Amino acid sequence: MELADIINPNNLVYEKPKLLTDTTMHYCPGCSHGVVHRLLAEVIEDMDIQDKTIGVAPVGCAVFAYKYLHVDWQEAAHGRAPAVATGISRTNPDKVVFTYQGDGDLASIGAAEILHACNRGENIVVIFINNGIYGMTGGQMAPTTLIGQVTATTPNGRDIGRNGYPLKITELIAQLPGTSYVTRQSVHTPATIRKCKKAIAKAFQAAIDKKGTSFVEVVSTCNMNWKMTPVKANEWMEANMFPFYPPGDLKDSSKNDPASYTPIKN
Amino acid sequence: MGELRLMKGNEVIAEAAIRCGCDGYFGYPITPQSEVMETLMDREPWNETGMVVLQAESEIASIHMIYGAAATGKKVLTSSSSPGISLMAEGISYIAGSELPCVIVNVQRGGPGLGTIQPSQADYYQSTKGGGHGDYHLIVLAPSSVQEMNDFVELGFQLAFKYRNPAMILTDGVIGQMMEKVVLADYIPRLTDEEIDQKYGSWVTNGRKPNRERNIVTSLEMDSGRMEQNNLRFQEKYAKMEAEEVLFEEIQCEDAEYILVAFGSSARVCQKAVDLARTKGIKVGLLRPITLYPFPKKPIAALAQRVKGMLVVEMNAGQMIEDVQLAVGCAGCKVPVLHFGRMGGIIPNPDEVVTALEQKLIGG
C-alpha cells in the first residue's frame, strides 16, 4: 500500500472542526479547556448555528476563548458574563448565546449574576469549568476548592474555619425554576468526552427551544496548578473531585417535569 | 410641533427612550430616579415598539447587560443615581474601553457614601474625568430643564453612536423630580437587524454572517504597544469631540462685567440670580456649559478677556471650577475665578448667589 492510499480523504476518521481557528491555544498541556472548546466547536457546527451564536468569554484562563472559536464573541468583565449574555439575549431573542466561565468567575465574583440569570430563566447556555482552583492568577483558592486542598492561598490546605466550605453552586442552580437542564460532566476519558458532547448539544437545543437556562458543569483538571502530571491529575480528579462533585444530570426538564421552569417574557 | 405634555424629568427620560427607538433599558431602583423604570414598566413599550425593559439584580448587572446589548449594535439605556453609578463604574470603563455606544443617566443625589436622596452635583469629577479605571472620557450632557431631559436622550444616542463611546446625561434630583411642560419628540422606528448589519456590521457581535469574519468585542490587549495604540485612538476621538461637540448657552453675557458659570439645576438658580443682580445694577451674565465633557473652554476663555470676575456656582464643594480655572489660566487671564457651592443635597437660592457675588467678587 502506498502512502497516498492511506492519506486519502476517504480514510478520514477525525479532523479539526472548521469552527476551531488555527490560533495556537495558550492553555497548558494537559488542561481540559482545549477539549471543551473542541466540543463546543463540534456542537455549534453540527447544529449549523454558527451564524447566530454569540459567545461570552470570562476572566480567568478562558479569557482568550474568543481567539479559538470562529463565532462572534464578547469579552465580559470578571464574573459578569451572565449579565452580558442577558443583555444580548433579551435584545436579540432569536440568537443563541452562551457563556464560558471558570469556577472563580462563576461561583465567586459572579455568584450574583449567575444565580439571577438562571433564576430569570434567560434562554442561554452556561458552560462552567470547575477545576477547583484559580488558574490564570497562579493557583489560588477557588470557591470550589476542596477541604484540605493545597493552593497558593491555602498552603496548608483549605481550612473550614478560615476559608469556609467548597460551594456546590450547580446544586443551588438546579433548584432554580428558571433552569431547565443542569448537568455535571467531565472530559477525562473518550467515553466522558462523548457524553459531555451530548450534554452540550442538549443544552444548546434547550436554549434554541427557549426552555430557560441550561447549565453544563465540566469537572476539570488543572494539572499545572495542582502540580501533577496530566494523567495523575485525572486520577486525582476521579478520587477527590467526583465524590464531592458527582457527575450526572442534576435536572432535566425534558424528562421529568416540563413545567418546572417558567418561560421568560420579552 | 410635537405633543405638549406636563411631565416629571424622570418620566420624560422613559418617554424619550421609547420614542427615539431605543431597543432596551436595564436598570435597578434607586431614589431619586426610580420613576424612569416605573414609567417604562407602566408604558409596556415591548407591546408598542418592541423595546425590552428589564429590572436587573444590581447596578453592576444592569451596566453589563447594557454592554452585552450595545455590543450587538442595539440602542440601549440605563439610569441610576450617584451610589448606583459608582457600582456601574466597572462596566462603564469596559464599555469605553471596548468602544461601545450607550446612554447612561445619572440623577445625582448628595454624597459621599449613601449620602442623601436630595439633589447634588457632586459627581462632576466622576462623570467628566472618567469615573472608572483607565484613561477614558464619557460624553457628558447636563440638562437644565425637563425639555432638555427629553432632547438629550436622542442627542446622547447620536453622539454615542457617532463616536462609539458611552454618553452620560448628568442631571440631579431637581430636574428628575420636577414637572415642567415638555414638547415630546416624534417616534423614530427601531433599527431592524438588517439595518444594524448595514450600519455597524464591522463591529457588532450579533452572529457571524457568511459575508464577514467573526467580530470580537473586548477591551483586553496583552501587548502594551498595541494597548498604547488603542489609547492613542481614544485620545484622537476625545480631541475630535473637543473640537466639534461643545455645547453651551450664554445668557445676558453681552454687557456683563461679572459672569456666573453654572450647569444643570444650578444654572436655573443662577438665571434668577442674574435677574436679581441686574435689578441692583450689577451687570451679570451666565455661561451654562451644556456639554461638561467636552468642556466649553473657548467661550469661557473669551469671556474672561473682558470681565472683572467669574463665580462658579455648583451644588458641590468646587469641582467644575477647576475646569473653569484651567480654561481661564490657559488663556493667560488673571481674572479672579471663585466658587460658591452648597453641599449634601442643599439647593442654593438666588439671593445667596447674589450675596456671594457681592461679597466674594465685587466687594472683595
How near does any CA of chain A get to the CA of B190, in Å? Answer: 12
Q: CB-based contact (8 Å) between A207 and chain B?
A: no
Percent of the residues in chain A that have a pLDDT greater than 70, as a whole number: 95
Q: Residue B75 and residue B289: Cα distance in Å, rounded?
A: 26
Q: Residue B270 and residue B272: Cα distance in Å, rounded?
A: 5
- Give the C-alpha distances (Å, rounded to integers) separating B155 from B143, B185, B222, B291: 11, 12, 35, 11
pTM, to two decimals: 0.96
- pLDDT value of residue A14: 85
Q: CB-based contact (8 Å) between A136 and chain B?
A: no
**Residues B248 and B290: beta-carbon distance below 8 Å:** yes
How near does any CA of chain B get to the CA of A237, in Å? Answer: 32
Q: Is A258 a residue whose pLDDT tops 70?
A: no
Question: Residue B4 CB: number of other CB atoms within 10 A?
Answer: 9
Region A84-113 average pLDDT: 98
Q: Residue B166 and residue B155: Cα distance in Å, rounded?
A: 12
Residues from chain B contacting residue A87 (CB–CB below 8 Å) = 24, 26, 64-70, 76
Q: Residue A103 and residue B78: Cα distance in Å, rounded?
A: 29
- pLDDT value of residue A7: 85
For A27-252, the fitting CATH number among 3.30.1660.40, 2.10.109.10, 3.40.50.300, 3.40.50.970 is: 3.40.50.970
- Report how far Cα B270 is from the mean position of its chain's Cα atoms: 19
Instruction: Look up the CATH number of domain B248-362.
Output: 3.40.50.920
Report the CATH superfamily, name and number, of domain B4-183: Thiamin diphosphate (ThDP)-binding fold, Pyr/PP domains (3.40.50.970)
ipTM over 0.90: yes
Domain boundaries along the sequence of chain B: 4-183, 248-362
- pLDDT category of residue A261 using cuts at 50, 70 and 90: very low
Q: Which of B179, B187, B172, B209 is nearest to B73 (CA)?
A: B209
Radius of gyration (Cα) for chain B, nearest Å? 21
Q: Is A255 a residue whose pLDDT tops 80?
A: no
Identity at B235, one-letter amino acid code: Q
Domain boundaries along the sequence of chain A: 27-252
Q: Which of B118, B172, B116, B117 is nearest to B145 (CA)?
A: B172
pLDDT (tens digit per residue) in A158-195? 999 999 999 999 999 999 999 999 999 999 999 999 99
Q: CB-based contact (8 Å) between A105 and chain B?
A: no
pLDDT (tens digit per residue) in A8-62? 888 888 889 999 999 999 999 999 999 999 999 999 999 999 999 999 999 999 9
Cross-chain residue pair B24–A87, CB shorter than 8 Å? yes
Q: CB-based contact (8 Å) between B194 and chain A?
A: no
**Grid cell for residue B331:** 488663556
How near does any CA of chain A get to the CA of B199, in Å? Answer: 17
Residues from chain A contacting residue B77 (CB–CB below 8 Å) = none
Residues from chain A contacting residue B90 (CB–CB below 8 Å) = 77
**Residues A151 and A201: beta-carbon distance below 8 Å:** no
Residues lower than pLDDT 70 in chain B: 364
Identity at A196, one-letter amino acid code: C
**Residues B98 and A87: beta-carbon distance below 8 Å:** no
A63, A77, A91 member nearest B72 (Cβ): A91
Return the residue of A nearest to B26 by Cα.
A87
3-state SS string over B298-356? HHHHHHHCCCCEEEEEECCCCCHHHHHHHHHHHCCCCCCEEEEECCCCCCCCHHHHHHH
Cross-chain residue pair B61–A92, CB shorter than 8 Å? no
